[in-house]
Amino acid sequence: MPRKSTRLTFAVLATGAGVFAMLQSLIAPALPTVQHALHTSQSTATWVMTAYLLSASVFTPILGRIGDLIGKKRTLVAVLLVVLAGCLLAALAPNIGMLIVARVVQGVGGALFPLSFGIIRDEFAPSEVPGSISNLSAVIAAGGGVGIVAAGPIVSALDYRWLFWIPVAVVAATTLIALRYVPESPNRAEGKVSWLGAVLLSAWLVALLLPLSQAGTWGWGSARVLGLFAVAVVLFALWLLAEARSRSPLIDLRVMRLPAVWTTNTVAFLFGAGMYALWSFLPAFVQTPSSAGYGFGASVTTSGLLMLPMLLAMFCSGILSGRLAPVVGAKALLTTGAALGAVALGFLALWHAAQWQIAVVAGVFGLGIGLAFASMANLIVGSVPPEQTGAATGMNANIRTIGGSIGAAVTSVLVTGRLQPSGLPYGSGYTHGFTLLAVLCLAAALAALLVPVRRTGRATGTARATGEPSQAGRPTAVRG
């Protein structure tokens, strides 16, 4: 049977992953509108984001592993159908409870990232893999930016429900094309799904991320927050024990301990903390009325336009990363991306009195995001066996999300720790928050220097294509 077009396959994967990335950020600027339209409280409305975060964190590594076991295309199509159902349910949701349920369903789409990376590795020629992964990473990064930029105009011109109706149409078409044209991956992992590992992984992730996302409402010293943190620690230890003893672990801890994997995951954690927190707080900063002593009183649409340089820069640098990786190596690009993030945030902490400064910061940070996203994906894919691609890239995405949750929670404490009589944060809170994020990105750049690079010895498959070694103890050949 002739091979399907890799261009069409890539277009399908990029569309699915891009839509999911867009759904992550698309609703955030519209939360006040949703709150008003569905007659709910602000604390309840935040569950629209929290439910999505928890669901994606749970399903991303689990379904990535299932794809490794039963077939990535089969799992991809199933996930697209679930996302389609989630978007349709959200568009029709008559109340906030149903919308939160719909967001839980949409979160299943987090598995599109590891499944897409795995299909590229299995189906594309070795020389095409690093560039394709870089391009897909650029689309994923840009998808988050599109959500921030597009939310305002969509809500203003139509209605917040169109934030879900538009993805319904796109995902439906993508599912049909994927079913017809995306080939089934030939590589299969041996074993079966470790359901004990899946349950424990889900439990400790929820126990960790739930108090992080709700601590501002519940209080950092509340019994619920401290109790859930304690439960997360215990469940995490039990999960490690269960995975170490399992003959077919959900996440192979031996792969997670590989030098190229754990160092890249460390960078993902630190850089994710800076990136997601900036996405959360920069729009709020520019929307603050100038009477607070800072901010520009921008509308949702205007604040989105100020983020447009980030969107364009991250897409361009992500595409460029695929061309540069064979020349300078993914490690150098990862280090550069994190360093650019630190420079941008350092500039923002010192200078944020004019809108052009915000636009410059957004552009420089976007360059960093594009380089970092593409490099992390290539380093993980190039360092693990083919049958571990889904699980390993899923955990990398999860670790980035965990870092983002922690970064956003800590930044929230700094920003909202002291409020003006008007109820708005002091400008110093934002300055301290941006400084912290700059330090986190700088730490990510330093951690990137620890990523091992072996210039000699035999490397195959993706490792050869990227100029990075295969360190998983076996060849990582990609079927061409």
User: What are the tokens at 106?
Assistant: 């949409």
Query: What gap in Å lies between CA 23 and CA 25, rounded to an integer?
Result: 6
Domain 6-193+248-466 has CATH 1.20.1250.20: yes
Tell me the per-residue pLDDT of 367-420, one tens digit each, with 9 for 90 and over. Answer: 999 899 889 988 998 888 887 877 788 888 888 888 888 888 888 888 877 888
Query: What gap in Å lies between CA 150 and CA 147, rounded to an integer?
Result: 5
Nearest of 354, 349, 344 to residue 294 by alpha carbon: 354
Nearest of 56, 30, 14, 27 to residue 143 by alpha carbon: 14
97's CB contacts (< 8 A; 6+ apart) are: none
Nearest of 425, 285, 275 to residue 351 by alpha carbon: 285
Query: What gap in Å lies between CA 84 and CA 82, rounded to an integer?
Result: 5
What pLDDT is recorded for position 173? 92
Tell me the per-residue pLDDT of 230-286, one tens digit each, with 9 for 90 and over. Answer: 999 999 999 999 988 888 887 888 888 899 999 999 999 999 988 888 877 888 888
Residue type, position 183, single letter: P
Regions of the chain where pLDDT drops below 50: 1-3, 455-480
Q: Which helix (H) or strand (E) holds 297?
A: none
Domain ranges for the chain: 6-193+248-466, 194-247
What pLDDT is recorded for position 474? 39
Contact 388, 189 (CB under 8 A): yes
Beta bridge mates, 425: 419
Contact 447, 403 (CB under 8 A): no
What pLDDT is recorded for position 466? 40
What pLDDT is recorded for position 333? 93
What pLDDT is recorded for position 98? 94
What pLDDT is recorded for position 5? 66
Quickly count: other Cβ atoms within 10 Å of residue 158's Cβ.
12
What pLDDT is recorded for position 6? 81
What pLDDT is recorded for position 355? 92
